Structure 1
Amino acid sequence: MELFRYKKPIPLMSKSKIFFAISMVAVVASLLLIFTKGFNYGIDFAGGTVVQVKYEGKAPIEKVREAIKTSKVFEGASVNFFGSDDEIVIKVRTSSKKLGTDIGDEARKLLEGTGKFEVRRVDMVGPKVGNELREKGIMALVLAIAGILIYVSFRFEWRFAIASVMALVHDVSIAMGALVLFNVEVNLDILAALLTILGYSLNDTIIVFDRIREGLTTVKSSKLADVIDESVTRTLSRTTLTSLTTFFVVLTLFLMGGEIIHGFSFTLLVGIIVGTYSSIFIASPLLMMMGFDVENYRKKLAEKKKREQEKEKMRAMYEQGVV
């Protein structure tokens, strides 16, 4: 199935500077948000306690808020609906001194008289554990990007590797900026979503780069912009169909998956949009900015092919007993 019939190359690279400038503004804005406003760390990374309570009928959220004010254990706690109006979640930043208290029992005592309810979940994470999880999460992102750099360097060429990694940094930066902008709680699910974005965006970029590498040997023009335009045009239908299919699946999760995976699906939505965009309008133009020389690349390919032919000739002569 083809959404775009290939007749002649679309001059995408002629507009690359405009798209690149827009992306840089988005990245800078995201970094400013991250360093000024900061992330809304969830219990996984900041430490604390989550108590999930389900009522028979609509949860009396105002009564719950009044009830927990009387307890020092729930000092500074937030109470919000959780997916539906009969279920609430109580979140509190828990100090190490409070971890010895059975918060589930404390919640049951405090909420007596607010209606029939069931404490469905109590999750507790100490501050030290939260810090360790946060540090290991950052390390996981850094190692993933480093591994990608090494992989692409071996498979393609160092300029391709740097371009792909810069595109990945672009994608993750904007995704994290969106998390800060919309005050999404950052927890282990969000970290999993960011790592998924790395994999998705890299896969998309590799396919585009693979077609560009193929175009370097088939496209007659010696201008890199022409090679990229023709190569990207040929893969545009595939990229669009794949991205739309993934987007609609994640959109369904976002709209119907409930509160538990809301942050995860939101992060993926942003990542899919930005990752698809960056594969074409960020990674590819970066090759031109780094001075990738088409003629020099073709010359290296010709020399490599000549050496392989000479080796093959020598081996054939050896097998025939000539050498």
Structure 2
Amino acid sequence: MRLKLIPDDTKFDFFKASKIWLGISAFLIVLALVSVSIRGLNFGIDFRGGTTIRTESAQPVDIAGYRDAVAALDLGDVTITEIFDPTFRPDQNVAMIRIQAQDDTEAVSQDLINAVEGALQAAVPDIKFVSVESVGPKVSGELIKTAAIAVVLAIAAVLVYIWLRFEWQFAVGAVVALIHDVALTIGIFSEVGIRFDLAIIAALLTIVGYSLNDTVVVFDRVRENLRKYKQMPLKDVLNLSINETLSRTLMTSGTTLIALIALLVLGGDVIRGFVFAMTWGVIVGTYSSIFVASALLLRLGVKRDWTKSGPKNTGNKFADIDA
């Protein structure tokens, strides 16, 4: 006997409150944009330029003592943060020291790094310098521009792909869902204040691919059912298609979240930002595939004659997996 978490014959009406869900999504997007414009993002060294020094010591981190040690060097904006992680040993006290990019300097000099390390060594004799990362102001500016272009090009490529494979209505629904996912992910980073660096850009691009995969599976089943039920109202076709793929959607998202939550708890602070972005992205991506992309498709309408396009059973290889 097979265990079924989701019955085969679910008949949920996903469009009963579609206006409310779309309204909530629109509100959250506006809230995310307002948060980014007012609070900004906690850019890492990749995007701000400067130097990050990660330290370890057996003594508890004294942020005021660390700050006094480097104050005499007149380095400008210096941020010192103690890192907490359940995987650390009792005698493993970790701090992150961020030094702003120095004016007219393409790369922070080794002499400056040596001076900071020497000052900290004098204050905390057993301190160890685990890693040092430096990025010049010009390089960080180019990285911001390149990262933005990468995300925009990825979404544009999705628009073209869906348009060619389906119809423009499907493309608009899919792209709006992707913009929804990216905007909410950036917004939560602004609100929470988690460091935003190149790893997060990689997470955003991964979220785009994950959300697109979910959306395409649903759209493939919609197209198949439009051929099969030519007289059925579009709303009923969409509801039927989402219910038929619901098992696959929840199984995929659920198993992915299990792995991500394990990494979030046990993976350590180095990858925590990336894993947090992925976890949030899987949740909003699953939501948007059902409540945003399909709801927009219902409002835009779609052609009912698919007899001239696409092979049979396209894209449904994994749509009938039991959950």
Tell whether the structures are fold-level matches, with TM greater than 0.5: yes
* Aligned-residue offset at 1:151: 0.9
More displaced 10-residue stretch of structure 1: 104-113 or 240-249: 104-113
Q: Normalising to structure 1: TM-score of the pair? A: 0.87
Q: Structure 1: 5+ residue runs without aligned partners? A: 306-323
* Aligned-residue offset at 1:201: 0.4
More displaced 10-residue stretch of structure 1: 24-33 or 131-140: 24-33
Decide whether the 8 Å contact of 2:69 with 2:123 is kept in 1. no
How do 1:31-42 residues align onto structure 2 when only pairs under 5 Å count?
Answer: 31-42=33-44
Provide the secondary structure at the position in 1 that maps to 2:55: strand
CA RMSD of the aligned region, Å?
1.7
Number of matched residues? Answer: 298
1:88-115: CA deviations, max 9, x gaps? 1110112245633523311222011423
CA–CA distance in structure 2, aligned partners of residues 239 and 8 of structure 1? 13
2:117 aligns with 108
1:190 aligns with 2:191: no
- Structure 1 221/233 Cα, relative in aligned 2: closer, same or farther at 3 Å? farther
CA–CA distance in structure 2, aligned partners of residues 231 and 291 of structure 1? 15
CA–CA distance in structure 2, aligned partners of residues 11 and 113 of structure 1? 65
1:109-140: CA deviations, max 9, x gaps? 20114231221211110111000000000000
> In the alignment, residue 148 of structure 2 is paired with which amino acid?
I
2:53 aligns with 51
CA–CA distance in structure 2, aligned partners of residues 79 and 289 of structure 1? 51
> In the alignment, residue 93 of structure 1 is paired with which amino acid?
Q
1:290 aligns with 2:290: no
> In the alignment, residue 10 of structure 1 is paired with which amino acid?
F
* Aligned-residue offset at 1:221: 4.4
Decide whether the 8 Å contact of 1:104 with 1:119 is kept in 2. no
1:311 aligns with none
- 2:146 paired residue among 124, 136, 144: 136
- Structure 1 161/45 Cα, relative in aligned 2: closer, same or farther at 3 Å? same
Decide whether the 8 Å contact of 2:260 with 2:278 is kept in 1. yes
Q: Structure 2: 5+ residue runs without aligned partners? A: 310-323
> In the alignment, residue 241 of structure 1 is paired with which amino acid?
M
Identity %: 37
* Aligned-residue offset at 1:172: 0.5
More displaced 10-residue stretch of structure 1: 14-23 or 80-89: 80-89
> In the alignment, residue 232 of structure 1 is paired with which amino acid?
I
- Structure 1 254/103 Cα, relative in aligned 2: closer, same or farther at 3 Å? farther
CA–CA distance in structure 2, aligned partners of residues 108 and 100 of structure 1? 13
* Aligned-residue offset at 1:43: 0.6
Decide whether the 8 Å contact of 2:66 with 2:123 is kept in 1. no
- 2:233 paired residue among 198, 223, 226: 223
